[in-house]
Chains A and B, each alone.
Chain A
């Protein structure tokens, strides 16, 4: 795809912004044009957080994603709010541990990942976000060891280098789910 518009959404604290940064950085290391735009303000504190990411071969125009090609919803309010906006033929990735209902749209490809459950079972309770990223990249045909490593290296600061391995584990769990 020449340009992919992502919308990541969930509760504040689920690592939505981090997941978005990972995808943006991954694009950057692949010489793509990228933009990352978070929601900000009070809604970030415990409410729904969202972040728009565009990865494109062309310069990015508006950084605001209102009709995503790919929606990642990590909680029910996010799915309720953004399901209708996904482009026909687009993708929806849901954390099915936290979202009990099914997606109503029939013109999109839907993937349910019990990410929060998988994360706790595997001793990485804070990395449900990256489990979903693993699944997402796999389904988008964009899952490569090299790409993931480049993205992670950029997004994880040197001080937290010990987190690299765990993030890898989460991405692999997702990709194989």
Chain B
């Protein structure tokens, strides 16, 4: 077993990416994710990799597009406003069915916003991220260990389904240090017969492109892509349940919000309220099953978010609006306190009708 070391979440992502075989990183500095770029700048030259600080986020994502088309593991990272700039490239990569890893260590918005932690890019990440019909696999770590593990997982899923995986973290997850073990197995990569690596006069040309001017053809590509998305939805949803077996009140929260919520749930239990947590680990695909199941027995759900209420829509959809769903939130870089979540649990406990 490897030694446990203390690492910042951002550093854990960078080291895990290297362990996963990523040798190409393109980025542009922005708080609170700059440690990823700094780590890559230090490490990549030593291991024969490429670190490049691009002239902008737009340039960086298009460099990712370029390397991805050669079938190599590649990544970029940024924070909220920088991710918006990458939107065009994300859509092009989806249209070209390219695997890549993109990290968003979110900060408060909209606009240039602030630099403190936020989860307000949930819609952007899970509902497409840019123009056109597409999805990204969205992974939401809640510990430094998961920052590392989900980075590896993200690369693996991206390769498996030929799509972009996004790590949706926040400033707290990026900046905090926790013990982390980095001795995980990295699966062998699937072959990339589609990669543009030169025909050597031995095969037909591979073409990586998102332009398709014949509507019938473009429609076919969209339908095919959504068949793949369906497989992702069926097979890849991940979540954690905490004290849900007998829970009357179910808190839904991811990332830092889930950590705060756990404190509140433990406290609520001490006060005799049966509360539990469902923590989505994949935000897309959203883990509907545990919510469908809990909706049969729980009195009420609370969505705890660092946003004005975005995931709450998926919670309502997954629970079929059978029971009340309330929002407990802070925004703009603020984080709900355990006391605030506890209060929301106490309120929800009063409000839930007889089951």
Task: Identify the stretch in B40-48, B255-263, B282-290 within 8 Å (CB) of chain A at 4 or more residues.
Answer: B255-263
Interface pick from B160-168, B169-177, B183-191: B169-177
How long is the Cα–Cα vector from A60 to B179 in the complex, in angstroms? 11
Which chain A positions have C-beta within 8 A of B116? 41
Is A36 at the interface (CB under 8 A from chain B)? Answer: yes
Q: Annotate B2-28 by CB proximity to A: 1 below 8 A, 0 otherwise.
A: 001010000000000000000000000
Interface size on A, residues (CB 8 A): 20
B31→A35 contact, CB < 8 A = no
- Per-residue 0/1 for B225-259: is the Cβ within 8 Å of any A Cβ (1 yes, 0 no)? 00000000000000000000000000000001001
Checking B176, B179, B266 against A61 with a beta-carbon cut-off of 8 angstroms, the contacting residue is: B266
Distance between Cα atoms of A33 and B259 in the complex (Å): 14
From B333, which residue of chain A is reached at the shortest CB distance? Answer: A41
Asked if B335 and A61 make an inter-chain contact with CB atoms under 8 angstroms apart, the answer reads: no
Rounded to whole angstroms, the CA-CA distance of A40 and B174 in the bound complex is: 11
* In contact, B262 and A34 (Cβ under 8 angstroms): no
> Is A64 a contact of B6 with CB atoms below 8 Å?
no
Q: Which of A21, A38, A63 is in CB contact (< 8 Å) with B6?
A: A21
Chain B residues with CB under 8 Å of A64's CB are 172, 260, 335, 337
The complex places the Cα of A154 from the Cα of B5 at a distance, in Å, of 9
Q: Does B32 contact A (CB under 8 A)?
A: yes
- Tell me the bound Cα distance from A120 to B115 in angstroms: 36
Q: Is the CB of A62 within 8 A of B115?
A: no
- Asked if residues A40 and B175 are in contact (CB atoms below 8 Å), the reply is yes
B6 touches A61 (CB 8 A): no
Q: How far is the CA of A106 from the CA of B325 in the complex (A)?
A: 43
A110, CB-defined interface residue at 8 Å: no
| Residues of chain A within 8 A of B266, CB atoms compared | 61
Any B CB within 8 A of the CB of A71: no
**Known: A61-B263, A62-B338. Is A40-B31 also a contact (CB below 8 A)?**
yes
Across-interface contacts of B314 in A (CB, < 8 A): none
- Across the interface, name the chain B residue whose C-beta is closest to A39: B175
How many residue-residue contacts, CB under 8 A, span A and B? 60
Interchain nearest-CB distance for A88 vs B (Å): 16
The chain B residue with its CB closest to the CB of A35 is B178
* Contact yes or no, B263 A63, CB < 8 A: no
Check if A28 is an interface residue, CB within 8 A of chain B.
Answer: yes
A35 engages B262 (CB within 8 Å): no
B-side contacts of A34, CB under 8 Å? 6, 178-179
Contact assessment for B260 and A61 in the assembled complex, using a CB-CB cutoff below 8 Å: yes
Chain A residues near B337: list those with CB within 8 A.
64, 66
Bound-state Cα–Cα, A37 to B175, Å = 7
Contact B31 A63 (CB under 8 A): no
**Assuming A61-B262, A63-B176, is B338 touching A28 (CB within 8 A)?**
no
Interface centre among B177, B178, B338 (most CB of A within 10 A): B177
CB distance from A107 to the nearest CB of B (A): 20
* Bound form: Cα–Cα A61–B171 in Å: 17
A25: chain B residues within 8 A (beta carbon): 6
Q: Complex formed: what's the CA distance from A66 to B178 in Å?
A: 18
Q: How far is the CB of B137 from chain A (nearest CB, A)?
A: 26
Q: 1/0 per position for A57-91, CB-CB distance to B under 8 A?
A: 00011111010000000000000000000000000
Chain A residue nearest to B338 in the complex (CB) = A62
Contact B262 A62 (CB under 8 A): yes
- Whether the Cβ atoms of A40 and B171 lie closer than 8 Å is yes
CB of A94 within 8 Å of the partner chain: no
What is the minimal beta-carbon distance from A40 to any residue of chain B, in angstroms? 5
A-B contact pairs, 30 of them (CB 8 A): A21-B6, A21-B177, A24-B6, A28-B4, A28-B6, A28-B179, A33-B179, A34-B178, A35-B177, A36-B6, A36-B176, A37-B172, A37-B176, A38-B175, A40-B31, A40-B175, A41-B32, A60-B259, A61-B262, A61-B263, A61-B266, A61-B338, A62-B259, A62-B262, A62-B263, A62-B338, A63-B172, A64-B172, A64-B335, A154-B6
Residues of B bordering A, CB below 8 Å: 4, 6, 31-32, 115-116, 171-172, 175-179, 256, 259-260, 262-263, 266, 335, 337-338
